[in-house]
Amino acid sequence: MAALKEIKKRINSIASTRKTTSAMKMVASSKLHKAENVISNMLPYSEALHHIMESLLTGDDASMLSRERPVRNIAIVAFSSDSSLCGAFNSNIVRELQKTIAAYRKSRSVDHIFIYTIGRKVYDAVRKTDITITQNFENLAGKSDYHTIADFAGSLITQFERGEIDRADIIYHHFKSAGSQELINETLLPVILPQKENPDSHANTGYIFEPSREEILRVVIPKSIKLRLYTMLLDSNASEHAARMIAMQTATDNADDLVSELTIEYNKSRQQAITNELLDLISGNMG
Determine the average pLDDT of the residues in 136-146. 87
Q: What is the pLDDT of residues 169-227, one digit of tens each?
A: 999 999 988 888 999 999 999 987 666 555 554 444 556 777 877 788 788 889 989 99
Least confidently predicted of 68-77, 197-206, 219-228, 268-277:
197-206
Contact yes or no for 114/73 (Cβ under 8 A): yes
How far, CA to CA in Å, does 35 sit from each of 115, 165, 240? 26, 32, 10
Q: Which amino acid is at 144?
A: S
DSSP secondary structure, 1-44, as one string: -HHHHHHHHHHHHHHHHHHHHHHHHHHHHHHHHHHHHHHHHHHH
| pLDDT value of position 2 | 61
Contacts of 39 (CB under 8 A, 6+ apart): 175, 231, 234, 235, 237, 238
Least confident of 67-71, 216-220, 262-266: 216-220
Compute the average pLDDT of residues 42-59.
77
The mean-pLDDT minimum among 82-91, 215-224, 250-259, 275-284 falls in 275-284
Residues of 215-228 as b/e, b for ≥16 C-beta within 10 angstroms?
eebeebbbebbbbb
Go through the chain and tell me how many residues it has: 287
Please state the rounded mean pLDDT for residues 124-143.
89
The mean pLDDT value for 119-146 works out to 90
**Burial class of residue 232 (count of CB atoms within 10 Å of its CB; 0-12, 13-18, 19+):** buried
Confidence of residue 46 (pLDDT cuts 50, 70, 90): confident
Residue 205 has a pLDDT of 53
Q: What is the pLDDT of residue 204?
A: 45
Is the model more confident about 149 or about 199? 149
- Using an 8 Å Cβ cutoff, are 97 and 137 in contact? no
Query: In angstroms, what is the C-alpha Rg of the chain?
Result: 28
Residue 1: pLDDT band (50, 70, 90) is low
- Classify 257 as helix, strand or coil: helix
pLDDT at residue 270, as a whole number: 83
209 within 8 A of 7, measured Cβ to Cβ = no
Residues 137-160, mean pLDDT to the nearest whole number = 91
Q: Does residue 92 register a pLDDT over 90?
A: yes
